[in-house]
Amino acid sequence: MYFQDTDAGGVVYHANYLNFMERARTEWLRTHGYSNAGLMKEFGLVFVVRSFKLDYLKPALLDDLLDVTAQIKDIGRSRISLSQSVRRGDEVLTEAEVHLVCVSLESFKPVSVPEVLRDQWKN
């Protein structure tokens, strides 16, 4: 962890976990051959956070090397549920469940997750 992510006691500030998990979702998307800008351009859509449940189990500290994961739990018509965690080695520090909704860039109303994405993410 970087100094900017911690408080005066060297403990990672709680809200920074949201940033870590957002970055992990972006990198997860890239491992599947897409970017947020690419989804906007190719499909005219974006995924937005609908809800987020976060459990803090142990603190991350200054200079910790963390691994942040993102894994699909379920895909609905326009919704994707992900499990995310922040780990320090084998220790789970934080667990989260995030629900994303696929929305049109024009209206920001829910639209179906494109079949090509749905098929790729089921594997």
Residue 2 scores a pLDDT above 80: no
pTM of the model: 0.88
pLDDT of residue 123 exceeding 80, the answer is no
The predicted structure's pLDDT at residue 122: 75
Task: Scan for tokens 């994303």, then name that residue.
Answer: 100
Position 18 scores a pLDDT of 95
Active site residue 7: yes
* pLDDT tens digits, one per residue of 28-58: 999 988 999 999 999 999 999 999 999 999 9
Of the candidates 7, 55, 63, 74, the residue annotated as catalytic is: 7
Q: Give me the domains of the chain, ranges plus CATH numbers.
A: 3-122 (3.10.129.10)
In angstroms, the Cα distances linking 29 to 3, 10, 57, 80 are 27, 31, 26, 13
Nearest to 25 by CA among 83, 90, 88: 83
What was the pLDDT predicted at 1?
Answer: 67
Q: Which is higher by pLDDT, 26 or 7?
A: 26
Q: What is the dihedral of CA 26, 96, 68, 38, to 10 degrees?
A: -10
Which of the four pLDDT bands, split at 50, 70 and 90, describes residue 70? very high
The residue that leads in pLDDT, 111 or 5, is 111
> Shortest CA distance to 72 belongs to which of 32, 19, 115?
32
Residue 121 is predicted with a pLDDT of 83
Count of other CB atoms within 10 angstroms of residue 5: 20
